[in-house]
Amino acid sequence: MTDQEIISRFEELDAGRILGDLDTGEMDEWEELARDPRCQSDLALELTAAALEAEFQDTNKIELPPGLLEELEKGTADFVVEKPSKKVEETVGEIPLWRKILSDKDTAWAIAALFAILFVAQTFVSDPSTSTPGPPSTQVSPEEASKTLVAEAKDLIRAPFEGGGDYKGMSGEVVWSDERQEGYMSLTNLPVNDPKSKQYQLWIVDPTRDEKPVDGGVFDIGLAEGTTVIPIRNPLVIRDPKAFVITLEQPGGVVVSKQEIVVAAANS
């Protein structure tokens, strides 16, 4: 393969990694290419997805017409231009970060960024009060999904959480399947947090991947009593988890935790 072909393949895989769309083989290929000095990850796509997530979470502020997503999917190539499409600009609104990326004719991230837009829009733009009447949603709750995983996964891992320090009063359990790359935490009596001040973050210890734990997602606890079920959101493939650790971090979480406040841990 030529240098350009190698770089293009890495960019394709890196976009899939950020969107959580790589299988185990593709993840191995990404890791091998990531060690190549010619291939460097660019934070543009991740920042784009994060910015769009923040924008689209407020469904009263921006609402996408029913046919927009279909138009975007059909016309991906049309948006890699010097200036963003007027229709997209008028419909989605001005989001400087993704508009800058899409309008840069020299960037290789344009198409990948558009797929991030599609992913975030489909995930976060939903308002029951304005949606078209139809059959009930087939999306299951974390509680139901967790029960299904426990009942069906052949390689299920179950481990109890033990609280530490000020969190000794909490209890819980983590269930995980390597085959499905799916897992859930059931947490009881974990103190309610203020998302504007601090947020909980899960870390997955997998020695086969790296010395550093893998980010398992940032989450909040809104109930003072009872059990809250939290889906695990791992951006990377987990092969052999040895432990699951919950820390308390700054809003939005961190890339690498200093583990100044370790809330609980579960050893598998």
Establish if 137 belongs to a structural domain. no
131 part of a folded domain: no
233 shares a domain with 175: yes
Residue 171 shares a structural domain with residue 221: yes
If asked whether residues 148 and 258 sit together in one domain, one would say: yes
Pairing status of strand 199-205 against strand 214-219: antiparallel
User: Which position has the token pair 């989605």?
Assistant: 92
75 with 150, same domain: the answer is no
Instruction: Report pLDDT for 24.
Output: 80
| pLDDT (0 to 100) of residue 140 | 87
pLDDT at 34: 82
Residues 164 and 263 occupy one common structural domain: yes
Q: Which residue has the higher pLDDT, 245 or 110?
A: 245
Report if residue 130 sits inside a domain. no
Verify that 19 and 106 share a domain, yes or no.
yes
Check residues 215 and 54 and name the one with the higher pLDDT: 215
Do residue 147 and residue 113 come from a single domain? no
Residue 86 and residue 41 share a domain: yes
Q: Which domain range does residue 74 map to?
A: 3-124
Q: Which pLDDT score, from 0 to 100, does residue 50 have? A: 60
Helix (H) or strand (E) holding 187: strand 182-188
Inside any domain, residue 30 = yes
Domain count, the chain: 2
With CA atoms as reference, report the closest residue to 119 among 127, 131, 108, 111.
111
Angle at 16 between CA 155 and CA 198, to 5 degrees: 75
Query: Higher-confidence residue: 83 or 70?
Result: 70
pLDDT per residue as tens digits for the range 183-222: 999 999 999 999 999 999 999 999 988 788 999 999 999 9
Share of the chain above pLDDT 70, in %: 63
Rounded to 5°, angle at Cα 133 from 130 and 135: 130
Question: In terms of domains, do 116 and 37 share one?
Answer: yes
Query: Are residues 80 and 11 located together in one domain of the fold?
Result: yes
Please give the model's pTM, rounded to 2 decimal places: 0.52
- Please check whether residue 134 lies inside any domain of the structure: no
Q: Which H or E run includes 229?
A: strand 227-231
**Residue 135 belongs to a domain:** no
Is residue 57 in a domain? yes
Q: Give the Cβ contact number of residue 144 at 10 Å.
A: 11
The reply to whether 9 falls in a domain is: yes
Q: Are residues 195 and 162 in the same domain?
A: yes
State residue 134 phi and psi, 5-degree precision: -175, -170
Q: Do both 76 and 153 map to the same domain?
A: no
Question: How many other CB atoms are there within 10 angstroms of residue 191's CB atom?
Answer: 13
Structural domain ending residue among the three candidates 124, 150, 181: 124
Residue with tokens 């890699």: 80
